[in-house]
Copies of this chain bind each other. A is one copy, B any other.
Amino acid sequence: MKIKHIVESQQFTVPLILELFERTDLMKKVVARGGTKDYEKKVMASLFYKPSTRTRFSFESAMYRLGGRILSTEQAKEFSSEVKGELLEDTIQIVANYCDAIVLRHHEEGGAQRAAAISPVPIINAGDGSGGQHPTQGLLDLYTIYNECHALDGLSVAIIGALDQGRTARSLAYLLSKFERIKLYFIAPDELQIKPDILEHLDEKGVSYQLSSNTDDIISKVDVVYQTRIDKERLKHKEIDLTKYNIDTNVLKKMKYNSIIMHPLPRSVEINPAVDGDPRAAYFRQARNGLYVRMALLTMLFDKE
């Protein structure tokens, strides 16, 4: 299937997702044998308007394992010392001359869409604005569930954190809604619960869900716990004890033996490092899947010709 740009998770249909996962499985084998040279003529530009070394390294490593090369900046705001506020469109048209794909992290919501509208080379959205999209994170999350649970249909997934602004939580809920017999649990302090637009979408798709302000009854039932962070500063009702959302070895004991714990990382206190050694702690494997999924996405863009 052909895709030109990767701008938002909505563009990924189930067949496209399944092709992506097939390619991702293949990329694991490619990496295991030391990478490929198939894309050695390709140059990828990392055009980051604010630093995100983790995401950048993940993409750049993906490109290297495919044999390609990297142009890289984490200070694209200082792209030119002469004209402040140069049009993103101009920048993209210039950088497109120097590479075969642009991984863009832009500070404004909609930046990736604007870039894709005029770019002659593929744009990959690596996050635009705080309320914007970060589709490759959503896809690697989905792949991790698929890979760890050997299925997507029929899963029950608890998503914990400040869900109202949780870009990754929202993306994951959206992507999971494409599959059958999914049961979602949104666990957050009431004032930070997931927004109605997602719930309306789930209603439309006939996805079963439940909202809760604590993990107690839920944690023992689910196949996947998707943990994210809650910043204390965001809470008006400061008396709320956030530790009840944390995962430690006690919580672990209540979880199903074949469930998994995920986290988009970086973590703060919400997962105790004592949990890391448990086989259900999937978050570092999840980070590694970022490499494979991004390799697969790059091949989908490059193979389109």
- Residues from 265 to 299 in A contacting B, C-beta threshold 8 Å: 265-268, 273, 284, 287-288, 290-291
How many copies of the polypeptide does the oligomer hold?
A: 3
> Which single member of B61, B76, B80, B268 contacts A266 (CB below 8 Å)?
B80
Output the least CB separation between A199 and chain B (Å).
Answer: 25
B residues within 8 A CB of A73?
A: 51, 53, 56-57, 74
Segment at the interface with B among A15-23, A85-93, A202-210, A232-240: A85-93
User: In the complex, are the beta carbons of B75 and A53 less than 8 A apart?
Assistant: yes
Q: Is the CB of A81 within 8 A of B99?
A: no
Using A74-B73, A99-B61, A266-B80 as known contacts, say yes or no to A284 and B41 having CB atoms under 8 A apart. no
Q: Is residue A79 contacting chain B, with contact meaning CB distance below 8 A? A: yes
Provide the residues of chain B in CB contact with A58, threshold 8 Å.
97-98
Q: Return chain B residues, CB-CB under 8 Å to A45.
A: 57
CB atoms of B50 and A41 under 8 A apart? no
**Segment 32-72 of A: residues with Cβ below 8 Å from B:** 34-35, 41, 43, 45, 50-54, 56-58, 60-61, 64-65, 69, 71-72
Does A82 reach chain B (CB closer than 8 Å)?
A: yes
Subset of 17 A-B contacts with CB under 8 Å: A43-B61, A51-B73, A51-B75, A51-B78, A54-B79, A54-B95, A58-B97, A60-B98, A61-B71, A73-B74, A83-B266, A87-B273, A89-B273, A91-B266, A93-B287, A94-B287, A97-B288
Listed in ascending order, the chain A residues whose CB lies under 8 Å from chain B are: 34-35, 41, 43, 45, 50-54, 56-58, 60-61, 64-65, 69, 71-76, 78-83, 86-87, 89-91, 93-95, 97-99, 229, 265-268, 273, 284, 287-288, 290-291
